[in-house]
Amino acid sequence: MLTRIAPGVHVHTSECIATNSIIVDDGSEALVIDPGLTSEELTDLAAGVRSLGLEVVAGFATHPDWDHALWHPSLGEVPRYGTARAAAVLAELLAQPDWQTRIAEGLPPEIADDVPLELFGLLTALPRDATRIPWTGPSIRILEHRGHAEGHAALLIEEHRVLVAGDMLSDVLVPMPNLYGDAPDPLRDYLHGLQLLEDASAGADVVVPGHGSVGDSEDLRARIALDRAYIEALRDGRPISDPRVAQPKPGWEWVAYIHEGNVERVARRS
Protein backbone atom coordinates (compact mmCIF):
# COMPACT_ATOMS: atom_id res chain seq x y z
CA MET A 1 0.00 0.00 0.00
CA LEU A 2 1.32 3.41 -0.99
CA THR A 3 0.84 6.35 1.37
CA ARG A 4 1.06 9.90 0.03
CA ILE A 5 3.34 11.98 2.27
CA ALA A 6 3.74 15.05 0.04
CA PRO A 7 2.69 16.09 -3.46
CA GLY A 8 4.40 13.70 -5.84
CA VAL A 9 5.89 11.55 -3.06
CA HIS A 10 4.54 8.22 -1.78
CA VAL A 11 5.94 5.71 0.71
CA HIS A 12 5.47 1.96 1.09
CA THR A 13 6.48 0.45 4.44
CA SER A 14 7.46 -3.20 4.56
CA GLU A 15 6.05 -5.43 7.27
CA CYS A 16 9.60 -6.53 8.12
CA ILE A 17 11.78 -4.03 9.99
CA ALA A 18 9.52 -1.19 8.79
CA THR A 19 11.62 -0.65 5.67
CA ASN A 20 10.49 2.35 3.62
CA SER A 21 10.37 2.41 -0.16
CA ILE A 22 9.83 5.83 -1.73
CA ILE A 23 8.14 6.79 -5.00
CA VAL A 24 8.78 10.24 -6.49
CA ASP A 25 6.78 11.26 -9.56
CA ASP A 26 6.14 14.13 -11.94
CA GLY A 27 2.58 13.08 -12.76
CA SER A 28 3.51 10.52 -15.42
CA GLU A 29 6.95 9.07 -14.62
CA ALA A 30 8.29 7.70 -11.36
CA LEU A 31 11.60 7.19 -9.60
CA VAL A 32 11.72 4.30 -7.10
CA ILE A 33 14.07 4.67 -4.11
CA ASP A 34 15.12 1.61 -2.04
CA PRO A 35 12.34 -0.80 -3.10
CA GLY A 36 11.77 -3.75 -0.78
CA LEU A 37 11.56 -6.24 0.66
CA THR A 38 9.81 -9.47 -0.40
CA SER A 39 8.74 -10.55 -3.88
CA GLU A 40 5.10 -10.01 -2.96
CA GLU A 41 5.77 -6.54 -1.58
CA LEU A 42 7.80 -5.54 -4.62
CA THR A 43 5.07 -6.80 -6.94
CA ASP A 44 2.49 -4.86 -4.94
CA LEU A 45 4.72 -1.79 -5.04
CA ALA A 46 4.91 -1.96 -8.83
CA ALA A 47 1.14 -2.43 -9.05
CA GLY A 48 0.64 0.58 -6.79
CA VAL A 49 2.79 2.72 -9.07
CA ARG A 50 0.79 1.62 -12.11
CA SER A 51 -2.49 2.32 -10.30
CA LEU A 52 -1.37 5.95 -10.02
CA GLY A 53 -0.94 6.07 -13.78
CA LEU A 54 2.83 6.21 -13.50
CA GLU A 55 5.66 4.53 -15.39
CA VAL A 56 8.85 3.65 -13.54
CA VAL A 57 11.76 5.25 -15.40
CA ALA A 58 14.59 4.95 -12.84
CA GLY A 59 15.62 3.64 -9.45
CA PHE A 60 18.06 4.72 -6.76
CA ALA A 61 19.71 2.83 -3.90
CA THR A 62 20.69 5.04 -0.99
CA HIS A 63 23.47 2.64 0.03
CA PRO A 64 24.76 -0.89 -0.57
CA ASP A 65 23.06 -2.75 2.30
CA TRP A 66 20.99 -5.72 1.09
CA ASP A 67 17.63 -4.17 2.03
CA HIS A 68 18.27 -1.00 0.02
CA ALA A 69 19.66 -2.44 -3.21
CA LEU A 70 16.86 -4.81 -4.27
CA TRP A 71 14.83 -4.77 -7.47
CA HIS A 72 12.10 -6.79 -9.17
CA PRO A 73 11.19 -7.49 -12.83
CA SER A 74 7.74 -5.96 -12.27
CA LEU A 75 9.43 -2.58 -11.81
CA GLY A 76 10.89 -2.77 -15.30
CA GLU A 77 14.32 -2.65 -16.92
CA VAL A 78 15.39 0.88 -16.12
CA PRO A 79 18.58 2.57 -14.89
CA ARG A 80 19.16 1.99 -11.17
CA TYR A 81 21.51 4.57 -9.79
CA GLY A 82 23.73 4.78 -6.76
CA THR A 83 26.77 6.76 -5.73
CA ALA A 84 30.03 5.71 -7.33
CA ARG A 85 31.24 4.23 -4.05
CA ALA A 86 28.01 2.33 -3.37
CA ALA A 87 28.08 0.84 -6.87
CA ALA A 88 31.72 -0.17 -6.42
CA VAL A 89 31.01 -1.88 -3.08
CA LEU A 90 28.18 -3.88 -4.65
CA ALA A 91 30.20 -4.76 -7.75
CA GLU A 92 32.96 -6.10 -5.51
CA LEU A 93 30.43 -8.17 -3.56
CA LEU A 94 28.76 -9.56 -6.68
CA ALA A 95 32.14 -10.63 -8.03
CA GLN A 96 32.47 -13.10 -5.12
CA PRO A 97 31.27 -16.62 -6.00
CA ASP A 98 29.54 -17.01 -2.63
CA TRP A 99 27.81 -13.59 -2.57
CA GLN A 100 24.30 -15.05 -2.39
CA THR A 101 25.26 -17.18 0.60
CA ARG A 102 26.80 -14.18 2.32
CA ILE A 103 23.66 -12.10 1.77
CA ALA A 104 21.35 -14.94 2.81
CA GLU A 105 23.15 -15.27 6.15
CA GLY A 106 22.10 -11.72 7.05
CA LEU A 107 18.46 -11.93 6.03
CA PRO A 108 15.72 -11.89 8.68
CA PRO A 109 14.66 -15.55 9.01
CA GLU A 110 10.96 -14.77 8.64
CA ILE A 111 11.47 -13.49 5.06
CA ALA A 112 14.70 -15.24 4.04
CA ASP A 113 12.97 -17.40 1.43
CA ASP A 114 10.97 -14.52 -0.03
CA VAL A 115 13.64 -11.91 -0.79
CA PRO A 116 14.41 -11.79 -4.54
CA LEU A 117 18.15 -11.57 -5.15
CA GLU A 118 18.25 -12.10 -8.92
CA LEU A 119 18.54 -8.35 -9.62
CA PHE A 120 20.20 -7.38 -6.37
CA GLY A 121 22.90 -4.72 -6.47
CA LEU A 122 22.99 -4.03 -10.20
CA LEU A 123 23.59 -0.30 -9.98
CA THR A 124 24.68 2.30 -12.49
CA ALA A 125 27.38 4.35 -10.79
CA LEU A 126 26.88 8.09 -10.83
CA PRO A 127 29.95 10.30 -11.36
CA ARG A 128 31.89 10.84 -8.14
CA ASP A 129 31.01 14.53 -8.13
CA ALA A 130 27.30 13.99 -8.86
CA THR A 131 24.99 16.17 -6.77
CA ARG A 132 21.66 15.36 -8.48
CA ILE A 133 19.86 12.23 -9.64
CA PRO A 134 19.81 12.31 -13.48
CA TRP A 135 16.14 12.15 -14.32
CA THR A 136 13.52 14.55 -15.69
CA GLY A 137 11.26 14.61 -12.61
CA PRO A 138 11.56 16.82 -9.51
CA SER A 139 15.12 17.82 -8.69
CA ILE A 140 16.66 15.52 -6.09
CA ARG A 141 19.86 16.58 -4.36
CA ILE A 142 22.34 13.90 -3.29
CA LEU A 143 23.92 14.27 0.15
CA GLU A 144 26.71 11.69 0.20
CA HIS A 145 28.68 10.68 3.27
CA ARG A 146 30.11 7.49 4.82
CA GLY A 147 28.49 7.69 8.25
CA HIS A 148 26.40 4.54 8.03
CA ALA A 149 27.99 2.82 5.04
CA GLU A 150 30.40 3.47 2.22
CA GLY A 151 28.67 5.47 -0.50
CA HIS A 152 25.65 6.26 1.67
CA ALA A 153 23.42 9.02 0.31
CA ALA A 154 20.53 10.95 1.76
CA LEU A 155 18.28 12.67 -0.76
CA LEU A 156 16.55 16.04 -0.62
CA ILE A 157 13.50 16.24 -2.89
CA GLU A 158 13.65 20.00 -3.05
CA GLU A 159 10.39 20.85 -4.77
CA HIS A 160 8.36 18.77 -2.32
CA ARG A 161 10.55 19.47 0.75
CA VAL A 162 11.10 15.82 1.62
CA LEU A 163 14.35 14.48 3.10
CA VAL A 164 15.00 10.79 2.44
CA ALA A 165 17.54 9.96 5.15
CA GLY A 166 18.69 6.49 4.16
CA ASP A 167 19.58 4.46 7.24
CA MET A 168 19.61 7.43 9.60
CA LEU A 169 17.12 9.47 11.66
CA SER A 170 15.00 6.46 12.61
CA ASP A 171 12.51 6.60 15.45
CA VAL A 172 12.96 2.87 16.14
CA LEU A 173 16.63 2.11 15.40
CA VAL A 174 19.65 3.60 17.12
CA PRO A 175 22.42 4.90 14.86
CA MET A 176 24.51 2.21 13.18
CA PRO A 177 27.87 3.78 12.35
CA ASN A 178 30.16 1.98 9.94
CA LEU A 179 32.17 0.19 12.60
CA TYR A 180 32.82 -2.91 10.48
CA GLY A 181 35.00 -1.35 7.79
CA ASP A 182 38.44 0.22 7.81
CA ALA A 183 37.38 3.85 8.14
CA PRO A 184 39.79 5.53 10.59
CA ASP A 185 37.07 7.44 12.47
CA PRO A 186 33.54 6.15 11.77
CA LEU A 187 31.98 8.17 14.61
CA ARG A 188 33.35 11.39 13.15
CA ASP A 189 32.01 10.25 9.77
CA TYR A 190 28.58 9.76 11.31
CA LEU A 191 28.61 13.21 12.91
CA HIS A 192 29.59 14.67 9.53
CA GLY A 193 26.60 12.91 7.96
CA LEU A 194 24.31 14.33 10.64
CA GLN A 195 25.66 17.80 9.94
CA LEU A 196 24.85 17.39 6.25
CA LEU A 197 21.31 16.41 7.18
CA GLU A 198 20.99 19.31 9.58
CA ASP A 199 22.21 21.73 6.91
CA ALA A 200 19.58 20.36 4.53
CA SER A 201 16.80 20.31 7.12
CA ALA A 202 15.84 23.93 6.47
CA GLY A 203 14.58 22.76 3.08
CA ALA A 204 12.49 19.86 4.43
CA ASP A 205 9.06 19.54 6.01
CA VAL A 206 9.05 15.74 5.95
CA VAL A 207 11.70 13.14 6.82
CA VAL A 208 11.64 9.52 5.65
CA PRO A 209 14.06 7.18 7.46
CA GLY A 210 15.17 3.89 5.98
CA HIS A 211 13.28 2.14 8.77
CA GLY A 212 10.53 3.49 10.99
CA SER A 213 7.96 6.26 10.85
CA VAL A 214 7.76 9.21 8.51
CA GLY A 215 8.15 12.45 10.49
CA ASP A 216 7.49 16.15 10.17
CA SER A 217 9.97 19.03 10.49
CA GLU A 218 9.81 18.92 14.28
CA ASP A 219 10.55 15.19 14.24
CA LEU A 220 13.42 15.83 11.86
CA ARG A 221 15.13 18.27 14.20
CA ALA A 222 14.49 16.04 17.23
CA ARG A 223 15.90 12.95 15.51
CA ILE A 224 19.06 14.78 14.43
CA ALA A 225 19.60 15.91 18.03
CA LEU A 226 18.91 12.42 19.42
CA ASP A 227 21.24 10.71 16.96
CA ARG A 228 23.98 13.27 17.61
CA ALA A 229 23.67 12.81 21.37
CA TYR A 230 23.90 9.04 20.93
CA ILE A 231 27.04 9.18 18.77
CA GLU A 232 28.76 11.75 20.97
CA ALA A 233 28.10 9.65 24.10
CA LEU A 234 29.36 6.56 22.26
CA ARG A 235 32.49 8.47 21.23
CA ASP A 236 33.14 9.81 24.73
CA GLY A 237 32.42 6.54 26.54
CA ARG A 238 29.57 8.09 28.51
CA PRO A 239 26.42 6.23 29.62
CA ILE A 240 23.76 6.32 26.92
CA SER A 241 20.11 6.78 27.75
CA ASP A 242 18.25 6.51 24.48
CA PRO A 243 14.49 5.87 24.34
CA ARG A 244 14.92 3.52 21.38
CA VAL A 245 16.84 1.23 23.75
CA ALA A 246 15.36 2.05 27.14
CA GLN A 247 11.74 2.25 25.97
CA PRO A 248 11.55 0.55 22.58
CA LYS A 249 8.34 0.27 20.64
CA PRO A 250 6.70 -3.16 20.99
CA GLY A 251 8.52 -5.65 18.79
CA TRP A 252 11.70 -3.59 18.65
CA GLU A 253 13.30 -4.82 21.87
CA TRP A 254 16.07 -6.39 19.79
CA VAL A 255 17.48 -2.91 19.10
CA ALA A 256 19.23 -3.27 22.46
CA TYR A 257 21.53 -5.83 20.81
CA ILE A 258 22.50 -3.32 18.10
CA HIS A 259 23.31 -0.81 20.82
CA GLU A 260 25.39 -3.35 22.75
CA GLY A 261 27.26 -4.21 19.57
CA ASN A 262 28.02 -0.54 18.95
CA VAL A 263 29.43 -0.15 22.46
CA GLU A 264 31.56 -3.29 22.15
CA ARG A 265 32.99 -2.39 18.75
CA VAL A 266 33.85 1.16 19.77
CA ALA A 267 35.56 -0.16 22.91
CA ARG A 268 37.50 -2.66 20.80
CA ARG A 269 38.65 0.08 18.42
CA SER A 270 39.79 2.19 21.36
What confidence tens digit (pLDDT) does each residue in 94-145 have?
999 999 999 999 899 999 999 999 999 999 999 999 999 999 999 999 999 9
State the average pLDDT over residues 89-93.
Answer: 97
- Would you state the pLDDT for residue 181? 75
State the average pLDDT over residues 183-209.
Answer: 96
State the average pLDDT over residues 221-232.
Answer: 98
What confidence tens digit (pLDDT) does each residue in 196-207 have?
999 999 999 999
How many C-beta atoms surround the C-beta of residue 157 within 10 A?
A: 26
- Would you state the pLDDT for residue 180? 84
Determine what percent of the chain is predicted with pLDDT higher than 70. 100
- Would you state the pLDDT for residue 183? 83
Q: What residues does each domain of the chain span?
A: 3-269
- Would you state the pLDDT for residue 243? 97
State the average pLDDT over residues 139-155.
Answer: 97
State the average pLDDT over residues 35-43.
Answer: 97
Determine what percent of the chain is predicted with pLDDT higher than 90. 97
- Would you state the pLDDT for residue 269? 86
Select 3-269's CATH number: 3.60.15.10, 3.40.50.150, 3.40.50.620, 3.30.460.10.
3.60.15.10
